[in-house]
Amino acid sequence: MTTRLTLLLAVLVALCWPSVARAADTDPVGGWPLRPEPAVVAGFDPPDSPWGSGHRGVDLLGTAGQVVRAALPGRVSFAGVLAGRGVVVVDHGDTRTTYEPVDATVSLGDPVAAGDPIGRLALGGSHCLPRACLHWGWIEGADTYLDPLRLVGAGPVRLLPLWRDEPVSRVVPMPYVAWRSPLQLFLLRWSPP
């Protein structure tokens, strides 16, 4: 049993550690893809499974035609139309950022610096119709979705480890505190002769 618990803890630590370490030490510092700093109209809600529902990025309010900029330096790894909407993907090595819907002004393989224009915000395919907004994603490896707001220091404060989520104090409701068993009632009423 102890061995299994130790193993479970090791797995949990292994699962949690990379994201905690990245949040603490190695988040690259990027810039907002829209300027001035946009309103975040939908936050990051990663799916529980690769096929699960969720929101794999954040939505930044903008105006149609607004210039969209690379959040980090990198190289354009996709610029084109996917499922009817314009998409730009910039590769940063171990991660990549995605921007949609965007009419690209860059081409596959173009190097970009942080803040460089990569296209213009489109309306078709907006997650905020009838408003225009940029769906901004940040992906690590094959398909690990990260919160892109961490790139601009606007992400959630570092998450507490799971085992610290337990309530500090627990108030246990005791609705039956006044209830007494028949034996208790008998003993209460009974007086020795």
The tokens of 87 are what?
A: 């998409």
- Which of the stretches 80-88, 97-105, 120-128, 149-157 binds Zn ion when contact is defined by CB under 5 A? 120-128
Instruction: Between 59 and 110, name the residue whose CB sits nearer to Zn ion.
Output: 59
- Which of the stretches 20-28, 56-64, 98-106, 183-191 binds Zn ion when contact is defined by CB under 5 A? 56-64
Under rule CB under 5 A, residue 56 binds Zn ion:
no
Under rule CB under 5 A, residue 59 binds Zn ion:
yes
Instruction: Between 118 and 134, name the residue whose CB sits nearer to Zn ion.
Output: 134
- Which of the stretches 32-40, 123-131, 149-157, 184-192 binds Zn ion when contact is defined by CB under 5 A? 123-131
Instruction: Between 96 and 135, name the residue whose CB sits nearer to Zn ion.
Output: 135
Are residues 145 and 139 in contact, defined by beta-carbon separation less than 8 angstroms?
Answer: yes
CB of 96 to Zn ion, least distance (A): 16
The distance from CA 125 to its chain's CA centroid, rounded to whole angstroms, is 21
Give the contacts of 180 (CB within 8 A, at least 6 positions apart). 188
Q: What is the contact mask toward Zn ion in residues 129 to 148, using x (rule: CB under 5 A)?
A: ------x-------------
CB of 59 to Zn ion, least distance (A): 4
How distant, in Å, are the alpha carbons of 34, 54, 166 from that of 48?
A: 29, 8, 21
Helix (H) or strand (E) holding 11: helix 2-21
Under rule CB under 5 A, residue 100 binds Zn ion:
no
- Which of the stretches 1-9, 15-23, 119-127, 145-153 binds Zn ion when contact is defined by CB under 5 A? 119-127
CA gap 117, 177 in Å, rounded:
68
How distant, in Å, are the alpha carbons of 21, 43, 87, 162 from that of 15?
A: 11, 23, 31, 11
Are residues 41 and 133 in contact, defined by beta-carbon separation less than 8 angstroms?
Answer: yes
Instruction: Between 75 and 85, name the residue whose CB sits nearer to Zn ion.
Output: 85
CB of 165 to Zn ion, least distance (A): 27
Q: How far apart are the first and last CA of the chain?
A: 56
Compute φ and ψ for 134, nearest 5 degrees: -95, 120
Interface residue with Zn ion, options 127, 138, 150, 151 (CB under 5 A): 127
- What is the contact surface with Zn ion in residues (CB under 5 A)? 59, 127, 135
